Amino acid sequence: MKQAIILLLFSCIISISTYSQTDSIAFYKKTSAMIPMRDGKKLFTVILSPVNPKQKVPILIQRTPYGADIPIPDDTVFQTRLMGSVYPMAKEGYIFVFQDIRGKYKSEGDMQIHQPLTHEKVKGAIDESTDTWDAVDWLVKNLADNNGKAGIYGISYPGWLALVGSVDPHPALKAASEQACMGDLFLGDDFHHNGAFRLSYGMEYSYEVEFDKTTDSNFPFPQYDLYDWYLKLGPLKNVNGVYFRNKIPTWNSFVAHPNYDAYWSKNSPLDYIRYPQIPQLHVGGYFDQEDINGPQLMYSHMEKKDSNNRNFIVLGPWNHGQWGGSKADSLGKISFGSNTGEWFRNLQKQWFDYWLKGIGNGQFAEANCFQTGSNKWQQYATWPPKQAVIKKLYAGAGNTASFNKPGSTGSFTSYTSDPAKPVPYRTLPIEATYGPGSRWRQWQVEDQRFVYTRPDVVSFVMDSLKEDLTVTGKILAHLFASTSGTDADWVVKLIDVYPDFDPENLAMSGYQLPVAMEVFRGRFRKSFAKPAPLTPGKPEEFVIDLHDINHRFRKGHRIMIQVQSSWFPIIDRNPQKYVPNIFEANATDYIKAEQHIYHSAQYPTYIELPVMRD
């Protein structure tokens, strides 16, 4: 959710003495304005305009809660070449606009995270859609040399603002690109995944945004490694009891709404966004540590009513916003073999050039999806591609996996889950999410051998592949499990296990690359709105969406299914004793539990793999 990258980088006060004679736009000028909204509140806005453009140019808007100002004085003129990753667009002429949303930094008004759109249902209501409309209206009427067309884009929270800004759009708003946008905040993305609360992120981010409206605030942790700090925090009730003191509105909402009630459904884009009213380019990363689900979810949701072919998607091998300004040729130890960031930024330029300038033929692929493993971009007429065939990868006795359904009866593998000793979600130290030295951005490709030998993690591994296997589309896990407790979390991973000796890169030998991972809180197995306790010892099926992937498992590699019951502190500890509201649980509610993962004919645990035929 946090803005991943500032697209415009200014290293100094700029000399204007030299510039490339090949630039059609050589210089830009910074100005700022307080733009009035319909309720009288004014929003601080930075405007970067080309100097002496040869023709009228479009406006490209990014709205943000993270501070729109750029640290150079108004009326500064600077070279186009210094505009960082948007340089290719800038040199051909755009007006770039950055705006603080209401209630943040230099804008007037009040702010609370991700408020739903209400203007359609409540007469006179103000929301991010109406603020975007008012901003566009002012810009096209007041900025010199604009061609009357505007686009909106952004990564993370600005991506959500681009999504909601394109609802009931101003007539001049012609195209949008939501990138790494959050989806439903209870079912997936920032604050919950399938009802399981994202503790470290939810606590640190809500404090960052809401503690002080004029800036971003880092929670004052007393130590660097936070694994023990979060463990000693104890039950979630201590966050307000000891630290927040009910002063962080979003945290108070977490506590008040532990289930999928009207608060969450009304705050879901699935409720207030119906279809693409202007061309929409959804952009997401397979390894996005913050908003992995949103672009996939919103593309799928809007595609159902896309009668005018306005809905498109790009999925890449990226973490949160990695495509925005970096080469993105690798993540952690995983190489992607090319500059995927530049590839995307070229596509983004083509997108806005067509809709805002009329340049190009407008023949965009429905889906551009990078294929990890083979490290190639692929295009698809539908997403997921319809030609994929579902194959079931089954867990088996003896920690094995295969495409053969188990034939035995009563077969299971067990482990003990202890909330006092939760499985870390990445190797220690667990740094503050956005703190110094944080490895938050690459944890979703981390080698899973750091938990492979833990007794509370079970793995099922198939034999080495005899030929490449390409898996493209949605991954669904069907976990048959039971617990001795009355509630449980289930974390399921699909892992690409590299050969014991990898001839292409010896340092990667035996690497366990998590291709897809997700958590599910057991109490919600029947309904996210009406949780219910589990029956101790009763085998039940838990269907878990592991999201969309496009991955080629290479010949000689093995595929692994891995299961555990804690993922700390990214996910809060499940007490494993059912309580109506985990945010109000007591320390005595946290108990050990014996977990059974079944792999029998009656209860076959498996993962659905959409396999492509070569």
For 120-164, the DSSP string reads TTSTT---HHHHHHHHHHHHHHHSTTEEEEEEEEEESHHHHHHHH
pLDDT band at 1 (very low <50, low <70, confident <90, very high): low
Per-residue confidence (pLDDT) for residue 215, from 0 to 100: 85
Tell me if 78 sits within 8 A of 72, measured CB to CB. yes
Tell me if 556 sits within 8 A of 386, measured CB to CB. no
Max Cα separation, the chain? 80
Per-residue confidence (pLDDT) for residue 8, from 0 to 100: 43
Query: Where in the sequence of the chain do the CATH 3.40.50.1820 domains occur?
Result: 27-183+268-380
Per-residue confidence (pLDDT) for residue 250, from 0 to 100: 94
Per-residue confidence (pLDDT) for residue 11, from 0 to 100: 37
Q: What percentage of the chain carries pLDDT values higher than 90?
A: 92
Architecture of the domain spanning 192-265: Orthogonal Bundle (1.10)
Tell me the helix, strand and coil percentages in the chain, rounded to 5.
20, 30, 50
CA angle at 4 for the pair 562 and 422, rounded to the nearest 5°: 30
Provide CB contacts within 8 A for 558, sequence distance 6+: 461, 462, 463, 464, 465, 497
Over 90: is that where the pLDDT of 310 sits? Answer: yes
260-296 pLDDT, tens digit per residue, is: 999 999 999 999 999 999 999 999 999 999 999 999 9
Over 50: is that where the pLDDT of 109 sits? Answer: yes
- In Å, how far from its chain's centre is CA 452? 26
Would you tell me how many other CB atoms lie within 10 Å of the CB of residue 408? Answer: 12
Per DSSP, which regions of 290-434 are E strands?
Answer: 311-316, 330-331, 334-335, 367-371, 376-380, 389-396, 400-402, 412-417
Mean pLDDT, range 406-412, rounded to an integer? 93
Which of these CATH numbers, 3.40.50.300, 3.40.710.10, 3.70.10.10, 2.60.120.260, describes 389-611? 2.60.120.260
Over 70: is that where the pLDDT of 16 sits? Answer: no
Task: Locate all alpha helices (DSSP H) within 339-487, ordered by sequence.
Answer: 340-357, 449-452
Strand partners, 314: 283, 368
Strand partners, 30: 48
Per-residue confidence (pLDDT) for residue 473, from 0 to 100: 98
516-558 pLDDT, tens digit per residue, is: 999 999 999 999 999 999 999 999 999 999 999 999 999 999 9
Q: Smallest Cα–Cα separation from 427: which of 418, 437, 417?
A: 437
pLDDT band at 65 (very low <50, low <70, confident <90, very high): very high
Mean pLDDT, range 71-97, rounded to an integer? 94
Query: Where in the sequence of the chain do the CATH 1.10.3020.10 domains occur?
Result: 192-265
Strand partners, 412: 598
Token pair for 428: 């220690």
What is the C-alpha separation between 328 and 326, in angstroms, rounded? 5
Query: Where in the sequence of the chain do the CATH 2.60.120.260 domains occur?
Result: 389-611
pLDDT band at 111 (very low <50, low <70, confident <90, very high): confident
Does the pTM surpass 0.85? The reply is yes
Over 70: is that where the pLDDT of 20 sits? Answer: no
Over 70: is that where the pLDDT of 18 sits? Answer: no
Q: Smallest Cα–Cα separation from 336: which of 374, 279, 297?
A: 374
Mean pLDDT, range 395-416, rounded to an integer? 96
Q: Please tell us whether the domain made up of 27-183+268-380 is placed in CATH 3.40.50.1820.
A: yes
Mean pLDDT of the chain: 94
Task: Locate all alpha helices (DSSP H) within 376-441, ordered by sequence.
Answer: none
Over 90: is that where the pLDDT of 361 sits? Answer: yes
Per-residue confidence (pLDDT) for residue 213, from 0 to 100: 78
Q: What percentage of the chain carries pLDDT values higher than 70?
A: 96
Helix, coil or strand: residue 484:
coil
Mean pLDDT, range 596-609, rounded to an integer? 98
What is the C-alpha separation between 429 and 441, in angstroms, rounded? 14
Per-residue confidence (pLDDT) for residue 504, from 0 to 100: 83
